Structure 1
């Protein structure tokens, strides 16, 4: 239809602040507890099982604490031709992958440099911001699959 209005410009500005996921922290602690229980439930001699179980429990708690204390960068995805930025620094080779409600972002701080990554869990990225991120990042796979369209 020639005269139909254009409802979306295809991209929008998006500003996101990454924050640690409490769900992930809880899961890390649960994994540490389960590892300790599984070692104690095995037929390993108790002399070795208790130190290994304590280490597994401590490691799970340490990982959860470390996840909670990680830096909190701010991401900006502009709608114009400028590159997206993290804490004001441009990102190169930006790749956004989706796994259901999980969003995984990979980028380089400079061309040919080291890869950095961030992951948003459902408790840190509400549905409205997920949609905003999809639009801002320009999901190139949208509509390419034949099953996405009506017959």
Structure 2
């Protein structure tokens, strides 16, 4: 809804702003409905030498970063393409949130880096 208001408040020409202002909430409703129909994803960080898994598939070169309350996971798929997932871990219970931070490590989820200094 705010996208429509901000479009009208911008200096965009009115002939272009009104269609965008009317289309933004409609687009948002469709995106929300599609998001709500998606099944939940199962993300597992074993916390050992094994790579993390998503829906049972190993994530190679996985990197978990925290930006404030949000978590961002990036990895390479089987074909070498870059994939990303972002979510709000505050929806997890505090014990699970702490487990995620500990299993993923402070430097990211990549197992390419040594766990200790040589």
- 1:120 aligns to 2:87 (yes or no): yes
CA separation of 1:35/1:88 partners in 2, compared to 1, >3 Å: closer, same or farther?
closer
- CA 1:48–1:97 in structure 2 vs 1: closer, same or farther (change >3 Å)? closer
8 Å CA contact 2:90, 2:97 repeated in 1? no
Local SS of the residue matching 1:51: helix
CA contact (8 A) 1:90 1:109 kept: no
Q: Which has the higher contact order (CA 8 A, sep 6+)?
A: 1
Q: CA deviation at 1:100?
A: 1.8
2:99 to 132, 135, 140: 132
Which entry has the higher C-alpha Rg, 1 or 2? 1
Q: Secondary structure at the match of 2:74?
A: strand
CA RMSD of superposed structures (Å): 2.7
Q: Which residue of 1 aligns with 2:27?
A: 59
Equivalent position to 1:82, from 44, 50, 64: 50
Give the CA deviation at 1:69: 2.8
Q: TM-score, normalised by structure 2?
A: 0.69
Report the equivalent of 1:109. 77
Unaligned runs of 5+ in 1: 1-32, 142-151
Q: Aligned equivalents of 1:76 and 1:41: distance in 2?
A: 44
Q: Which moved more, 1:88-97 or 1:101-110?
A: 101-110
| Partner residue of 2:64 out of 93, 96, 113 | 96
Aligned length: 107
Q: Distance in 1 between matches of 2:61 and 2:42?
A: 18
Mind listing any 5+ residue stretches in structure 2 that lack a counterpart?
109-118
